[in-house]
Structure 1
């Protein structure tokens, strides 16, 4: 059967499956809980996200970051290939052809994709969050907007704004867990997603947050991230309740796994960045079994306290701010040579 970019659908699905199997063991495991059509479409969407990330960072399957080439041209390439995918034109890249296929099958829009691409553009510009709302904007672009696309893949109507809001909450929760876990890794790549305002509140000098004498303050900021994560996670459960059973089970499994990452970071305190925090395979299985019971009961409790950020507020901020400023040098590039 011919599909996007003139490629066979089965071939695109198989390539997407390889991508998720290699690129994200957690998402790959959770995706097995979907029914087959949803599972394949989730793979197709993931393949595009993974490929965009690799192009933007000059890496392969999330490997080492590369400083080769022009970050702005990389983003331009992503935009151009994405546009061709939505037009149904062959792109010469399986991951972008996969996007074209899943977009046509599920009704994904170019605006949804553009919102995700803007997250890659933020990183390409050496952007850093100054405020909590800046952090919210970043989390929306790199994960909340993906959650919205995933919800549509799972069959949520584009008119069902409430459920799409909850899907966005789940993506934001995932990203907050990632940021808390990856503070040291991001620092090595000359990136920092802790808002400048938070660093100032903790009396940490710019670029010095990974110094040993700041570990207690760093642990406090990680706990702050995870508290926000838990609020978005709780709201996401309300949206998951509206999904078909197998999609609900998959979403709740992923929520439990990523929630466990964030809570493990908090439990480790100042030692959280001595080694990368992971969730073991047996623990993932345990979370999937717990999610099965939760999905069967399907009676999530409303959170005691709602998140400080809502999708509507973030989108209003995004639309008002418009596209990010052109590329500027990172802090490392501005530093004088030794």
Structure 2
């Protein structure tokens, strides 16, 4: 097989691996992986006659197929892939190349790296897309996934992510477009077997994973973030009967949001998050993971509503929120629901999160 055809094949395999969120140790442990790393370093060192196309192809193959990266490799691959993604020509071939480069970058998870490697380029790519809408939906999701993953090790990036590039607003728009563009109603004959996911469904699932990472770490609260909570609730309402995996991701996102004290309890109430979690916990298809996520949501909100403040206005607000919350839970028969899960508490919580398990028994709902 020629080098060109081998690259095309490996890039396609890597594309599918990242898009479907597969994990494999095989490539990283192979001689081919070592050879690719050597070729990347050798090609990058060339002062003259450097083959930029070959270098991009090598970086895309190595980054999409692998899971572990050295600092030296990242210092070469990240700028190389960003350079490919900066191509602003608006034709299908370039869009495909940009998508591949950004999808590869999204496979670089929680690795710490210097801002100089990516920040200016990331900002330029996102701002250009916001003005001209020049990228595919997968490319745009991928660049945000890469950027939010950098937020894990650099909390100061949040001001750029929220105040300058408006991540919550952009995520809302993309989620709304994806839910409108997908036919979520399964055909009757498809109910008995799992249908193949569309590309749009893959992208929506990836967005929700990115939101989970963001909700876990965000500290800046504004109206755009409140709208993002609303949007997750709306996505759940659209997919709940026809796409359980994405519905489950929505519930997990709301649980992570409830854990983050920056997220206001009143916004969780206004958005209908409480309603959808109550609805989920009563579904006959509920599994242990969703039981854990749903009960944790209420445990965490209950804890926050029990925390008294010394500010009279805030204290009055807290008491009113607590009253509304417990009234809602009483209306829905939440006490009976808790009782029905009592015998499974120890198993469910001990197997998912010991910390939440102890909180549950120390907290009165």
Q: Same fold (TM over 0.5)?
A: no
TM-score by length of 1: 0.33
Of structures 1 and 2, the one with the larger relative CO (CA 8 A, separation 6+) is 1
